[in-house]
Amino acid sequence: MKHPIYRIIDFEKIGAYTLRVFFDDGTSQTIDFRPVLKGALYGVLQDEKLFDLVTIDPEVHTLVWPHGADFDPTILHDWPRYAKSVAEMAEKWAQAEFSVG
């Protein structure tokens, strides 16, 4: 089975924590990231000023933040399929952080 590879070519902020992400196949997704901003890596992005520092990594062509957070571009491309499971994982990250801290 061949795994599709997508590249993010652009994005625009359309609201707080919400980006419209454009892909190299001509499609786009509008993603509200709030449900997944939890845990040690993504939780700090609840600071909107930090969230707004998002850029496109020129090597792997995905969204990245200055502290190293990123998302697989295939997950972002197919966000409606993955949004619920990523949000469920984010809850586990938050619980794990809480139980350790």
Fold of 8-100: NE0471 N-terminal domain-like (3.30.2020)
pLDDT, position 68: 95
Along the 101 residues of the chain, how does pLDDT read in single tens digits? 677 899 999 999 999 999 999 999 999 999 999 999 999 899 999 999 999 999 999 999 999 999 999 999 999 999 999 999 999 998 887 787 555 45
- In the prediction, which pLDDT does 14 show? 97
Instruction: Compute how many other C-beta atoms are within 10 angstroms of the C-beta atom of residue 81.
Output: 10
Contact indicator for 8, 62 with CB cutoff of 8 Å: yes
Give 3-state DSSP helix, strand, coil % of the chain, rounded to 5. 40, 25, 35
Give me the residue spans of the domains in the chain. 8-100
What single DSSP character describes residue 70?
Answer: B
The model's pTM: 0.89
Tokens of 14: 């359309």
For residues 25 and 32, is the Cβ–Cβ distance under 8 A?
no
CA-to-CA distance for 86 and 33, rounded, in angstroms? 10
